[in-house]
Chain A
């Protein structure tokens, strides 16, 4: 069971949240006339790391806000929570915020 600290509402049970996948993915700009590889990379290809993962969550049953979490995908330990647009820290696996 995850206890997730929403940046707006504080610590809540994981059932209030929905996972939104990898964070910090850049959409190809149309000015750069992206090729099929770039679109495929943006739409489908993911880091899917075994270890620290920066990912988006939404507090669906609460404030409805999206935010970022750095979480270890093996231990499920949440090492960092930060708002959309905020610079993230240098979270490393095994270190607490």
Chain B
């Protein structure tokens, strides 16, 4: 593996850049592994990486139906934040944010994590009360945040229409300064490269067709389009397709799959140097390093496995941008797409065991899985390697839907879940 550094870049440049190797080995599956991870997105690759790095389990394969970074990992809006309401969520997402803060150095891969802050704007007295309650909860959970008044928001986001005569007048808000954005492709490529260097096999273009079961019923491998692969343990991190895979293993999940749309505009000169989420419209926006405005909003409100969005949501989201950011009204969209997200009733993830022995699960991140890639991988790797939940993932077991110990972020925090 090439080490990425300024010196190496110059050295390679002098040799015409002919010495670079592929970032990860393209593997064909061996007949047997200690652990197989189904799903080569961020969460699956991070799980494989931390299995190897934290637990010394290197006989691992990541099985991906399409290609690395071709699913939700390449379809999200790249926001990283930990502004959640409940302590359990704050511990989980803060753990993730802290891993992100040192991820580029650890992976030797520039993930372009830019802690440009995220501002949540309030548009009514009720929004302000919600914001104060939300910010207060964050502080209680040890996550730093500041309330903002209108003039502070206007200074920070000049393009935002804060006028009292606006359709959505801004009355205040709050900011998490350590939130930000990262290059989503770089996160998956970085994890794939680092995992591959530790001996993990990354198999692309290999679809799982079913599970191999022992006489006692536990999962001891997978049937794939490339044949049978045996393993001691199997983990799955397949987001919107979790119910499909669970169906192959004979159980159901509390998951509904929806399409979540995102949009990117033509490149502009720097115009927006933070992330903004409006409580009035649920629209959120940031500007990428290439200059494109990256825009998201709410879900398409019916279940879907089609990776394309519907027209009413496009109208709502684009209408919100035009209304709230007048300078962006005549900006043209360059691309628009949808990813299939796995929404659970309490909008909190599931990380841990399934009803079938030998099969482990990472799902339920819904609309917010990108920010949680490091912690999702770290905690699932811990559970697979040690057989017990990681402390920060303990509240996020599938069992909670039976015991009733839900962590209801959907109702608590007003975020666009």
Contacts and interface: CB of A to CB of B under 8 A. Distances in A.
Interface of A: 1-2, 14-15, 18-19, 21, 36-37, 39-41, 43-50, 53, 55, 73-76
Interface stretch (B8-16, B161-169, B301-309, B387-395): B301-309
| A-B residue pairs, 3 tightest by C-beta | A19-B302, A44-B254, A48-B243
B305 A44 contact: no
Given A1-B311, A44-B401, A48-B243, A21 B256 contact: yes
A74 B310 contact: no
B402 A40 contact: yes
Contacts of B345: 43-44
A1 B345 CA distance: 26
Given A53-B303, A73-B304, A48 B255 contact: yes
Nearest to A18: B301
Contacts of A40: 254, 401-402
A75 B259 CA distance: 13
B301 A19 contact: yes
Contact of A55 (B247, B303, B311, B402): B303
Contacts of A53: 303
Interface of B: 241, 243-244, 247, 252-257, 301-306, 310-312, 344-345, 401-404
Nearest to B243: A48
A35 B170 CA distance: 49
A48 B303 contact: yes
A50 to B, nearest CB: 5
Contacts of B403: 36
B401 A19 contact: no
A50 B241 contact: yes
A25 to B, nearest CB: 12
Given A19-B302, A74-B306, A75-B306, A47 B243 contact: yes
Contact of A46 (B256, B310, B404): B256
A3 B241 CA distance: 26
A73 B401 contact: no
A93 to B, nearest CB: 12
Contacts of B253: 45-46, 48
A18 B301 CA distance: 8
Nearest to A1: B311
Contact of A14 (B243, B304, B306, B312): B312
Contact of B401 (A21, A45, A76): A45
B306 A48 contact: no
Given A49-B243, A53-B303, A55-B302, A1 B252 contact: no
Nearest to B308: A76
7 contacts: A37-B402, A40-B254, A40-B401, A44-B254, A46-B253, A49-B247, A73-B303
A1 B310 contact: yes
Given A45-B254, A53-B303, A74-B305, 7 more contacts: A1-B310, A14-B310, A45-B252, A45-B253, A45-B401, A49-B247, A73-B306
A55 B311 CA distance: 21
A37 B355 CA distance: 12
A35 B326 CA distance: 55
Given A44-B401, A45-B401, A50 B305 contact: yes
Residue in A2, A18, A50, A75 whose Cβ sees the most chain B Cβ within 10 Å = A50
Nearest to B254: A44
Contacts of A44: 254, 344-345, 401
B252 A76 contact: no
A36 B402 contact: yes
Contacts of B302: 19, 55
Nearest to A53: B303
Nearest to B316: A15
Contacts of A76: 304, 306
Contacts of B241: 50
A41 B241 CA distance: 19
Contacts of B404: 36
Contacts of A46: 243, 252-256
B364 to A, nearest CB: 11
A21 B305 CA distance: 15
A18 B257 CA distance: 16
A10 to B, nearest CB: 19
A39 to B, nearest CB: 8
